[in-house]
Amino acid sequence: MAKNQICFSFNQLTKIETKGDFADMAPEEIRQAIVDILSDIAPDEDLSHLDDSVNFRDQMELDSMDFLDIVMELRKRYRVQVPEEDYPQLASMDTTVSYLEPKMANVTA
């Protein structure tokens, strides 16, 4: 990146167009969407060895603000709203994908 272009968004995730229609996404696509979000939120982590059955927090350095980042990015990228009472559903990759599958089916473009 050129030095004179560093002015935008040190702190923001790369601006991504809203993906919109989530309804057609297969579980593996949802998984990839989560990996993409995690790689932005935790850029120092190696996500290639992520164990989908283990809680994110037990294999990555993630705190409550990071989880809010996941929620925010789902909202920004896919317009999926995750209410606060459902946050525990985002504990691991398996639970997250299971949770999002029906949510995504309800999302309209």
- Sites for other proteins among residues 4-33 (CB under 8 A): 4-13, 15
> By CB under 8 A, which span of 20-28, 49-57, 64-72, 96-104 interacts with other proteins?
64-72
66 contacts 86 by C-beta, under 8 angstroms = no
User: Per CB under 8 A, does 3 bind other proteins?
Assistant: yes
State the burial class of residue 82 (Cβ atoms within 10 Å of its Cβ: 0-12, 13-18, 19+): buried
Q: Determine which residue in the list 46, 48, 65, 83 makes contact with other proteins, applying CB under 8 A.
A: 65
CB of 81 to other proteins, least distance (A): 8
User: Per CB under 8 A, does 108 bind other proteins?
Assistant: no
Q: Which residue carries 């167009």 as its tokens?
A: 17
- Look at residues 71, 21, 82, 86 and name the one whose alpha carbon lies nearest to residue 41: 71
Cβ-based neighbours of 52, under 8 Å, separated by 6 or more: 31, 92, 93, 94, 97
CB of 61 to other proteins, least distance (A): 7
Where does this chain bind other proteins (CB under 8 A)?
A: 3-13, 15, 41-44, 61, 65, 68-69, 72, 75-76
